[in-house]
Structure 1
Amino acid sequence: MPRFRTLDQLDPRGKRVLLRADLNVPVKDGRITDRTRIERLCPTIRELAEKGGRVIVISHFERPKGRRVPEMSLKPMQEALSVALGRPVAWADDCIGEAAEAAAAVLKDGEVLLLENTRYHAGEEKNDPEMARALARLADVYVNDAFSAAHRAHASTEGVARLLPAYAGRLMQAELEALDAALGNPARPVVAIVGGAKVSTKLDLLGNLSRKVDVLVIGGAMANTFLAAQGHAMGRSLQEAEMHDTARRILEEARAANCEILLPLDLVVAPSLAPDVPTRTVPVGAVPEDMMALDVGPETVAAIEARLRRASTMVWNGPLGAFETPPFDMATVAVAQSVAALTQSGGIRSIAGGGDTVSALKHAGVAERMSYVSAAGGAFLEWLEGKTLPGVAALEVA
């Protein structure tokens, strides 16, 4: 794993600390509906403030495309952050320029300042050097605690990190350590579970994992494409006929890399995707013409659990079925509960991420019982794909 400076190497007392956060939280009718990202950020802010740092928080919010869009202001986050921290948070209505510099200049040790949306400036997404320099003028050191934005080479994630002494915050550190444990230097055997709708959206992920893990479990609708590519009749199931050659190639490359691919052995089928619709469980290859596969069956669940019991590390991205619509959540919930039990007993280290995956684990009631659940979305996926993340690379110590 590359080396990064962490807060262990930083004495923030008396220093202005530019903290890149991810406050791009869901908001409906002006109200924050999920404060997870705010709560996860608090440990880094508290540590910096309690050690005497003068904390200047920056973040993007939505996509104003370089314009001031009032409903995309970070102002509502000021109170939410203050409540979560249990301390006052000051505000400046810009992230660079006179307003930001004046607010930063009057900060005292232990105080926290939130700046306006970085994406109000077109230079943010262009990684404009002048905007990066303007951000750097605000502070003495830079801390990135926004792994979820690290896959973007923006002024606040990559440009400014090249201009100031740069450190990983506690959330960034935890994410990098978890991902290193998952794929960088994992305890073996490693089992990866990949689900989702389309093979075409996860080609890089499947290719990278097949070279790095011992067992690759493929579920969700993308498994239908692999099964159809092997000649199995799939009825009306969602699948990508144009990806059959690619699916066969992935299977061949996995075999060459000594990676076992576990495809469904049985399937739960129904005439439509609807709550509590009548279902049948059929062997692979026996999907009726008027039915569609919407979940994997109990034989498949048992096969997955058998591999997990022999594993030391598990990585999960994507549900096994259409879990949002019961009863097609049964396989995902069953496997999630097995993983949680193995994790709690010390039998496995479990790392999961991706929007649907997080929702599925919460639905199963086990999100808090995994070793690490990433809320990073796209950045988590790109890391699993083996891509270099600009915001992470900028933190590396030569």
Structure 2
Amino acid sequence: MKLKSIKSVGHLRGKRVLFRVAYDVPLVQRGKRWAVADDRRIAGTLPTLRYLLRQQCRVVILSWLKRPGGRVVADYRMDPVARCLSKLINQPVKKLDDCIGPKVFREINELKPGGVLMLENVRFYHQEEENNKRFARLLVHGIDLIVFDAFGQAHRVHASTTGITALRPTYAGLLLERELAALGRVAQRPSQPLIVVLGGAKISDKVAVIEHLVKIADQILIGGGLANVFLKATGVPIGRSFVEDTFVDKAKRTSVNAVKVARQLYQRYRSKITLPVDLVAASSISPHALVEVVDLAAHGRIDPRWKFLDIGPKTTSEFTGQLKRAKTIFWNGPMGVFEIGKFDAGTKMIAQAIAASRATSVVGGGDTEQAVARYRLAGSFTHVSTGGGASLEFLAGRPLPALKHIIHLL
């Protein structure tokens, strides 16, 4: 995939650039104000932003934050994000209280070369998620070109992703280029053996990934809530463990039986799919829960009132052994409820094993990104993606809609 890069554009000085980013970051309340709790997604865009500023562009930043549901929610304003960015680049970032309208248009028009504006949360308008064409036109009013660095939101069909990119010349930012290059090393030209580790709660966002990667992967290791679906599909009692029984196939707009899908996948690719042989079961999702290890290999059975909340020591040993022989690793999804200490051993040991590996290691975003931060392993992987859903869509072989106007047609 060849992208139209911002570095291929000449004569940028003075251009009004809409810098589309994915600053959907966690917030924490400090005193009476909200602050950014984790600035990694902001920091990831700094190479592109600094390049634009060196070129003396007039930079207008656009993102969404959280899910305000098409209305103004004070706690989801972009003010803390603007303050954080201002500190990172050591220059003022003027934050506006809207993303469209006469006041916004005037500020964009008056912005000096090398200056930075941040627009308000685009999801304050319901027209954003409706991909409203008129709203998209208002978002690019006064804009010369778009630089798209919002990889984590590239799979969404919204006004500020697919809508705006159809209206102005659009180029890939440096973060977007890095993301696609790293994922391409997994999907298109992996060094073998390729070991894929999948966890998390749901199967709906991973069916297509399994079907696509199983053809090139040497082994797919499955843990987390995802394993519960496969275990149920193979007749293993799972008590009250979380299971995504059904999901909606967005392409076909039909309800899908997740257990049936898991059964079919396992029957077809049994030699390449490794399921847990033991799991940590607990009476509840609590630091004070009663806990035991259920050894499935020894025909152990879970208490019907309990839940599986982590992979067990035998499974962890088997998975880490597989990882030692890998030359390429892709990991998306925790192995259990890693936010609670009693259930984080599997995720922690898998994360440490991948970090210690000499293999090319690509880690999906979302909860996996949080696990990397929790165990202080940032910098220990070849690439940590800023987009969980987008990385899964890409690895499933599906097009990312927001990239339609950025891809060179060869």
CA distance in 2, matches of 1:45, 1:97: 25
Which of 285, 288, 297 does residue 284 from structure 1 map onto? 297
1:368 paired residue number: 379
Q: 1:165 to 1:350 in 2, by over 3 A?
A: same
User: What letter corresponds to residue 207 of structure 2 in structure 1?
Assistant: L
Range with greater deviation from structure 2 (383-392 or 194-203): 194-203
Range with greater deviation from structure 2 (332-341 or 317-326): 317-326
Does residue 24 (structure 1) correspond to residue 37 (structure 2)? The answer is no
- The answer (yes or no) to whether the contact 2:151–2:386 under 8 Å persists in 1 is no
Residue 56 of structure 1, CA deviation: 1.2
Does residue 95 (structure 1) correspond to residue 95 (structure 2)? The answer is no
2:277 paired residue number: 265
Q: 1:103 to 1:335 in 2, by over 3 A?
A: same
CA distance in 1, matches of 2:266, 2:349: 26
Residue 116 of structure 1, CA deviation: 2.2
Structure 2 runs not aligned, ≥5 long: 246-256
Identity %: 38
Range with greater deviation from structure 2 (316-325 or 62-71): 62-71
CA distance in 2, matches of 1:52, 1:165: 18
Q: 1:121 to 1:253 in 2, by over 3 A?
A: same
Q: Deviations over 1:181-232 (max 9, x none)?
A: 1213322221111112343553333333323422111112332332343344
Say how many residue pairs are matched.
390
CA distance in 2, matches of 1:31, 1:217: 39
Does residue 194 (structure 1) correspond to residue 209 (structure 2)? The answer is no
Q: 1:327 to 1:64 in 2, by over 3 A?
A: closer
TM-score normalized with structure 1 length? 0.88
Range with greater deviation from structure 2 (137-146 or 65-74): 65-74
CA distance in 2, matches of 1:300, 1:234: 16
Residue 51 of structure 1, CA deviation: 1.9
Aligned to 1:246, the other structure's residue is in SS state helix
User: What letter corresponds to residue 287 of structure 1 in structure 2?
Assistant: G
CA distance in 2, matches of 1:99, 1:175: 35
CA distance in 2, matches of 1:65, 1:236: 32
Which of 129, 133, 147 does residue 143 from structure 1 map onto? 147
User: What letter corresponds to residue 355 of structure 1 in structure 2?
Assistant: G
Does residue 6 (structure 1) correspond to residue 19 (structure 2)? The answer is no
CA distance in 2, matches of 1:154, 1:200: 21
CA distance in 2, matches of 1:191, 1:254: 14
User: What letter corresponds to residue 136 of structure 1 in structure 2?
Assistant: V
CA distance in 2, matches of 1:152, 1:270: 37
Aligned to 2:208, the other structure's residue is in SS state helix
Q: 1:68 to 1:296 in 2, by over 3 A?
A: closer
Residue 139 of structure 1, CA deviation: 1.8
CA distance in 2, matches of 1:271, 1:153: 41
Cα RMSD between the aligned structures?
2.6
CA distance in 1, matches of 2:127, 2:302: 54
- The answer (yes or no) to whether the contact 2:281–2:302 under 8 Å persists in 1 is no
2:132 paired residue number: 128
- The answer (yes or no) to whether the contact 2:56–2:113 under 8 Å persists in 1 is yes
Within a 5 Å distance, the mapping from 1:353-364 to structure 2 comes to 353-364=364-375
Range with greater deviation from structure 2 (191-200 or 146-155): 191-200
Range with greater deviation from structure 2 (308-317 or 218-227): 218-227
Within a 5 Å distance, the mapping from 1:1-398 to structure 2 comes to 2-11=1-10, 12-29=12-29, 30-32=33-35, 33-200=37-204, 202-234=206-238, 237-239=241-243, 243-255=258-270, 260-275=272-287, 277-280=290-293, 282-284=295-297, 286-290=299-303, 292-342=307-357, 347-398=358-409
- The answer (yes or no) to whether the contact 1:211–1:254 under 8 Å persists in 2 is no
Residue 327 of structure 1, CA deviation: 3.1
Q: 1:284 to 1:25 in 2, by over 3 A?
A: same
Q: Deviations over 1:36-95 (max 9, x none)?
A: 222222222111101211111112233444444444332343322211210112343332
Residue 108 of structure 1, CA deviation: 2.2
Aligned to 2:337, the other structure's residue is in SS state coil
Q: 1:263 to 1:89 in 2, by over 3 A?
A: same
User: What letter corresponds to residue 125 of structure 1 in structure 2?
Assistant: E
Q: 1:384 to 1:27 in 2, by over 3 A?
A: same
Q: Where is the helix percentage greater, Structure 1 or Structure 2?
A: 1
User: What letter corresponds to residue 272 of structure 2 in structure 1?
Assistant: E
CA distance in 1, matches of 2:233, 2:284: 23
CA distance in 2, matches of 1:226, 1:96: 47
Residue 144 of structure 1, CA deviation: 0.6
Q: 1:192 to 1:106 in 2, by over 3 A?
A: same
TM-score normalized with structure 2 length? 0.85
Q: 1:27 to 1:271 in 2, by over 3 A?
A: closer
CA distance in 1, matches of 2:244, 2:71: 40
Range with greater deviation from structure 2 (197-206 or 80-89): 197-206
Q: 1:289 to 1:144 in 2, by over 3 A?
A: closer
